[in-house]
Chains A and B, each alone.
Chain A
């Protein structure tokens, strides 16, 4: 089983739609979780951290399910500018010293 798995997509959605991505991770000792956004030919940028209780930042909501070992990202009222690849990222160890593990990403295309 891969350490971090994501559906590669692409997810093609109309403007204004709500879209959700899931990501599963294999290491039950993982302590921290993040969603990054990567635009074409650019570096990944932190979108949001994922907290145990779930967290929201504007139109974006992230949730963690430790029992089933998955995290999710929900985007409401999609904008054209949301088109990007969304990377699920996990700290695969008990401490913060281990490198983060990146999923291969889910591609989102928001269509006018």
Chain B
């Protein structure tokens, strides 16, 4: 089945710890995105990548880092610098260079221990 896979579904972080959220897609999409959603709030863009080995900051990049070494993979690291990391994290992908919709993975819920 083609799709976007996020793992883990639930993740707990200790104070001062970095954690990495995985996002893999087998749709051959060029562009990939990370969003954060807080309870009752809209989606906020963290980072996005339109091509391998290139990525741009979104609206709330501070305290996060990403890499795009392979087309199908766009992991997000939540660093200890992110003081309020508890949220629902969503990864999405789409064809680049055309007005196509984004498709989402089923998300990772991150909580502080």
Contacts and interface: CB of A to CB of B under 8 A. Distances in A.
Given A34-B101, A96-B97, 16 more contacts: A32-B99, A41-B88, A42-B106, A42-B107, A43-B104, A43-B105, A44-B43, A44-B104, A45-B104, A49-B101, A87-B43, A89-B101, A89-B102, A97-B50, A100-B102, A103-B42
Closest A-B pairs by Cβ, 4 of them: A104-B42, A32-B99, A43-B104, A96-B98
Contacts of A104: 41-42
Contact of B99 (A31, A46, A103): A31
Interface of B: 31, 33, 35, 41-43, 45, 48, 50, 58, 88, 90, 94-107
Interface in A9-49: 31-32, 34, 36, 41-46, 49
Nearest to A36: B101
A102 B42 contact: yes
A99 interface: yes
